[in-house]
Copies of this chain bind each other. A is one copy, B any other.
Amino acid sequence: MKARVEVFLKPGVLDVQGKAIEAALHGLGFPGASDVRVGRLITLDLAATDKSTAEAEVKAMADKLLANQVIESYQILIH
């Protein structure tokens, strides 16, 4: 099965990368861009063949390695 993990900074956490991109977009002539946020997108293949096993495995991966839960939240999609 294939999995997709989206990792974003939690709402209250300042997204410096997003702010930098927003400022650059304004400078490039896109004044309408606002609330820019940058996250990571991790895709992977899994050996597991059923959805619930795959989901549990990817959740464990995200908790252990893919996301820093102090400042980040994640979302998993199995397909």
Contact = CB atoms under 8 A, between A and B. Distances in A.
Contact of A57 (B8, B32, B66): B32
Contacts of A34: 44-47
Interface residue SS majority, chain A: mixed
Q: How large is the interface on A (under 10, 10 to 19, 20 to 34, 35 or more residues)?
A: 20 to 34
A40 B20 CA distance: 15
A68 interface: no
Contact of A25 (B18, B21, B25, B61): B61
B47 A42 contact: no
Contacts of A22: 44
A32 to B, nearest CB: 3
Interface string A36-50: 111111111111100
